[in-house]
């Protein structure tokens, strides 16, 4: 029977954060999320955590599980040891237990304008795209915004203005979209002092992504694209 | 129409890589020429005079080592600044550290150039 060492914090009490142990009877195929629900329903109804789809699609249950960021609903208890430490995502204010304030995460996401800004005004038909043009986006569109990459990124932890791997991956998704008309504006935005050049290429974001996406690679591509745009005169120094 | 961009981080990022490539090339060439083709260390010939004669044998080495000094100073201090910049600090402290880096870099380059001038 594995013991879950769970991070606890209640802002309504004056107690500092602490860890609480729970013994959870496991079974074949049990996920960490199931274990947390077991604790909530049988051992401690005050435990707080986010979850929704239970199938790795919504990204709500991202947390720090035994030394690795990931989705609780996709992490098998059997793959971990007998003592499993659960913490909330890092770099964000803890609201309660595993629930963190995601406002800065989404503020940075919104800052890169995560929507299509077409080259031309809408016409009578949809914006056409060839299968080849669409294929370029395959590796970029699957982000579920779980914030695992954000929690694992040490630059996010030290520089609150850094855009973060999630926003930069999404920026490339629109820069690489043949229908988008704001390529240079987007490149200029992400190539600022709090953008792509703050990334140290540590690969944490790539390692923890539950969807096997490659934010580090996306940031690398953005660096090369912005450099090329600068060298070809599409970006001009602001002084 | 060209879009405006604050490009300082872009240039430092690019020159960090270019200087890294140069330093890698420099090390390989230096080791090959001075230790494999003309092994002055194991032959017991290492002295200020032998190194000076060896380096002064061609103008190529002069250019090579005069380029080496600013490249390695830039690469080292820019790398150090990239680490320091990870820590949040007030604007004045940041300016102070940057100024200290510039002074330190200038001192290192001047010292390096004077040393090389005596060597050649």
Q: Which residue has the higher pLDDT, A224 or B38?
A: A224
- The CATH code of the domain that includes B61 is 1.20.1300
Domain extents in chain A: 3-100, 103-231
Pairing of strands A235-237, B3-5: parallel
**Is residue B4 included in any domain, yes or no?**
no
Tell if the CB–CB gap between A227 and B10 is shorter than 8 Å. yes
Which phi and psi (to 5°) does residue A53 adopt? -80, -25
Q: Tokens 């909530």 belong to which residue?
A: A40
Which tokens sit at A91?
């770099």
Q: Which CATH superfamily is domain A103-231 in?
A: Alpha-helical ferredoxin (1.10.1060.10)
Q: Which of A45, A62, A41 is nearest to A53 (CA)?
A: A62
User: Which class for A124: exposed (0-12), middle (13-18), buried (19 or more C-beta within 10 A)?
Assistant: exposed
Dihedral angle at the C-alpha atoms of B22, B28, B29, B33, nearest 10 degrees?
160
Are A238 and B10 contacting, i.e. CB atoms less than 8 angstroms apart?
no
Tell if the CB–CB gap between A159 and B86 is shorter than 8 Å. yes
What ipTM, to 2 d.p.? 0.77
Taking each helix axis from N to C end, the angle separating B59-84 and B91-119, rounded to the nearest 10 degrees, works out to: 160
Mutate to test the interface with B, among A162, A181, A193, A233 (most CBs of B within 10 A): A193
Contacts of A235 in chain B (CB under 8 A): 2-5, 7
Strand partners, A235: B3
Mean pLDDT to the nearest integer, A178-204: 92
**Is residue B67 included in any domain, yes or no?**
yes
What is residue B71's predicted lDDT score, i.e. its pLDDT? Answer: 94
Report the distance separating Cα A67 and Cα A204, nearest Å.
12
Dihedral angle at the C-alpha atoms of B69, B70, B76, B79, nearest 10 degrees?
-160
State pLDDT tens for residues A9-43. Answer: 998 887 899 999 999 999 999 999 999 999 999 99
Pairing of strands A62-65, A235-237: unpaired
Strand partners, A18: A8
* Shortest Cα distance, chain B CAs vs residue A226, angstroms: 8
Tell if the CB–CB gap between A185 and B3 is shorter than 8 Å. yes
Least confident of A34-48, A186-200, B23-37: B23-37
Contacts of B7 in chain A (CB under 8 A): 191, 230, 235, 237-238
CATH 1.20.120.1690 at A3-100, yes or no? no
pLDDT at B10 over 70: yes
Looking at chain B from residue 75 to 94, which residues have their Cβ under 8 Å from any Cβ of chain A?
A: 82, 85-88
Tell if the CB–CB gap between B7 and A193 is shorter than 8 Å. no
- How far lies B55's CA from each of A3, B22, B27, B65, in Å? 67, 19, 15, 9
pLDDT at A149 over 90: yes
Tell if the CB–CB gap between B86 and A155 is shorter than 8 Å. yes
DSSP A159: -
Lay out the sheet containing A18-23: strands in order across: A18-23, A3-8, A83-87, A62-65, A68-71
Report the distance separating Cα A73 and Cα A7, nearest Å.
18
What is residue A15's predicted lDDT score, i.e. its pLDDT? Answer: 85
Out of B4, B9, B12, name the one closest to residue A188 (CB): B4
User: Which class for A239: exposed (0-12), middle (13-18), buried (19 or more C-beta within 10 A)?
Assistant: exposed
State the total domains in chain B: 1
What is residue B72's predicted lDDT score, i.e. its pLDDT? Answer: 94
What is residue B42's predicted lDDT score, i.e. its pLDDT? Answer: 64
Question: In chain A, whose CA is at the least distance from the CA of B15?
Answer: A227
Tell if the CB–CB gap between A236 and B5 is shorter than 8 Å. yes
State pLDDT tens for residues B67-104. Answer: 889 999 999 999 999 888 887 788 899 899 999 999 99
**Is residue B20 included in any domain, yes or no?**
yes
Domain coverage including residue B35: 15-119
CB contacts < 8 A, A to B, total 66
**Is residue B77 included in any domain, yes or no?**
yes
């Amino acid at each position: 029977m594995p013991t879950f060492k769970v991070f606890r914090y209640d802002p309504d009490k004056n107690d500092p954060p602490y860890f609480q142990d729970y013994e959870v009877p496991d079974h074949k195929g049990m996920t960490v999320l199931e274990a947390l629900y077991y604790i909530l329903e049988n051992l401690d109804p005050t435990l707080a955590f986010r979850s929704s789809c239970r199938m790795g699609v919504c990204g709500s249950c991202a947390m720090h599980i035994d030394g690795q960021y990931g989705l609780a609903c996709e992490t098998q208890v059997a793959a971990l040891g007998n003592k499993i430490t659960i913490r909330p995502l890092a770099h964000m204010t803890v609201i309660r237990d595993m629930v963190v304030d995601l406002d800065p995460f989404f503020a940075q996401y919104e800052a890169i304008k995560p929507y299509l800004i077409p080259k031309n005004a809408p016409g009578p038909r949809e914006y056409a795209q060839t299968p080849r043009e669409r294929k370029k986006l395959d590796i970029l569109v699957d982000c579920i915004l779980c914030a695992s990459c954000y929690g694992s990124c040490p630059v996010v932890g030290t520089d609150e203005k850094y855009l973060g791997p999630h926003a930069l991956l999404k920026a490339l998704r629109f820069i690489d979209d043949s229908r988008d008309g704001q390529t240079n504006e987007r490149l200029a935005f992400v190539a600022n002092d709090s953008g792509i050049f703050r990334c140290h290429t540590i690969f944490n974001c790539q390692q923890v992504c539950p969807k096997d996406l490659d934010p580090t690679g996306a940031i690398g591509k953005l660096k090369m694209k912005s450099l090329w745009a600068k060298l070809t005169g599409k970006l001009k120094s602001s002084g | 129409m060209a879009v405006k961009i604050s490009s300082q981080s872009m240039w430092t990022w690019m020159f960090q890589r270019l200087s890294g490539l140069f330093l890698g090339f420099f090390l390989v060439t230096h080791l090959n020429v001075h230790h494999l083709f003309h092994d002055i260390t194991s032959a017991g010939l290492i002295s200020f005079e032998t190194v000076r004669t060896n380096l002064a044998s061609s103008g190529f080495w002069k250019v090579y080592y005069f380029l080496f000094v600013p490249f390695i100073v830039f690469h080292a201090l820019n790398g150090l600044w990239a680490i320091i910049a990870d820590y949040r600090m007030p604007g004045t402290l940041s300016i102070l550290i940057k100024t200290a880096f510039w002074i330190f870099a200038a001192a290192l380059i001047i010292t390096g150039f004077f040393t090389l001038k005596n060597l050649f």
